């Protein structure tokens, strides 16, 4: 923030890390931390490799109300079918754009000609290191999905207004997807300057 200089430093400093869990999927640690007061406390959190989310502009015939490519999946921890933007975790040493292209292709079968980075979110700041980088994708062409063996999803093209209606009915509850909608709304309102890249990651004029 531009006025950071006026704000207190509340940094908590690591004293010690203890491994609590290495599951098939989740890794959890407990850090002993020094608080700003000098006292000590514990922070328990999941170690996450980072992820990307893609906002795929499937049809821009209506510039103000494009069609975006959504997914509908069953999410076991919340026992619901949810509508989401395509997303997935970074592989080791994978760069963000490569991950976005791979996840879009694996989950939806689509490739995109042009890519722009919008921003990032932290879904779970109290107990996960996860960061999700959000990409806008356009110039889509259809190919073959290649889902993981335990991944089941339905592709759901929706206009932005239909997505907003879903949100306003209280049914769009995935926080990364709601955050993506916010970025998309500000983009469509002309409030976001983006830098388009081609599929090789080169700046596109």
Q: How far apart are alpha carbons 56 and 64 in whole angstroms?
A: 15
- Cβ proximity to a second copy, 37 vs 141, nearer residue: 37
Residue of 163, 155, 158 lying closest to 185 (CA atoms):
163
Instruction: Kindly state the smallest distance separating residue 100's Cβ from a second copy, in Å.
Output: 17
- Cβ proximity to a second copy, 68 vs 83, nearer residue: 83
- Cβ proximity to a second copy, 97 vs 199, nearer residue: 97
Instruction: Kindly state the smallest distance separating residue 106's Cβ from a second copy, in Å.
Output: 16
Instruction: Kindly state the smallest distance separating residue 141's Cβ from a second copy, in Å.
Output: 25
Instruction: Kindly state the smallest distance separating residue 79's Cβ from a second copy, in Å.
Output: 8
Residue of 103, 164, 156, 152 lying closest to 132 (CA atoms):
103
Q: How far apart are alpha carbons 74 and 178 in whole angstroms?
A: 17
- Cβ proximity to a second copy, 141 vs 193, nearer residue: 193
Instruction: Kindly state the smallest distance separating residue 189's Cβ from a second copy, in Å.
Output: 10
Q: Who's near 53: CB < 8 A, 6+ residues apart?
A: 85, 86, 87, 132, 133, 134, 135, 176, 177, 180
- Cβ proximity to a second copy, 46 vs 199, nearer residue: 46
Q: How far apart are alpha carbons 141 and 194 in whole angstroms?
A: 21
- Cβ proximity to a second copy, 120 vs 199, nearer residue: 120
Q: How far apart are alpha carbons 149 and 33 in whole angstroms?
A: 40
Helix H or strand E encompassing 184: helix 175-188
Q: Residue 123: count other Cβ atoms within 10 Å of its Cβ.
A: 15
Instruction: Kindly state the smallest distance separating residue 49's Cβ from a second copy, in Å.
Output: 12
């Amino acid at each position: 923030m531009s006025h950071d200089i006026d704000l207190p430093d509340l940094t908590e400093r690591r004293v010690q890390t203890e491994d609590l869990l290495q599951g098939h999927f989740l890794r959890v640690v407990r850090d002993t931390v020094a608080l700003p007061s000098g006292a000590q406390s514990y922070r328990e959190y999941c170690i996450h490799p980072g992820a990307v989310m893609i906002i795929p502009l499937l049809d821009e015939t209506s510039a103000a109300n494009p069609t975006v490519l959504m997914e509908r999946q069953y999410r076991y921890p919340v026992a619901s079918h949810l509508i989401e933007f395509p997303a997935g975790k970074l592989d080791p040493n994978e760069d963000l754009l490569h991950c976005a292209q791979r996840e879009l292709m694996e989950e939806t079968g689509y490739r995109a000609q042009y890519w722009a980075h919008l921003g990032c979110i932290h879904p779970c700041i109290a107990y996960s290191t996860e960061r999700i980088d959000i990409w806008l994708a356009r110039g889509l062409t259809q190919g073959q999905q290649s889902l993981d063996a335990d991944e089941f999803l339905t592709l759901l093209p929706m206009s932005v207004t239909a997505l907003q209606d879903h949100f306003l009915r209280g049914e769009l509850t995935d926080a990364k997807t709601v955050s993506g909608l916010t970025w998309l709304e500000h983009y469509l309102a002309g409030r976001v300057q983006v830098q388009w890249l081609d599929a090789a990651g080169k700046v596109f004029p």
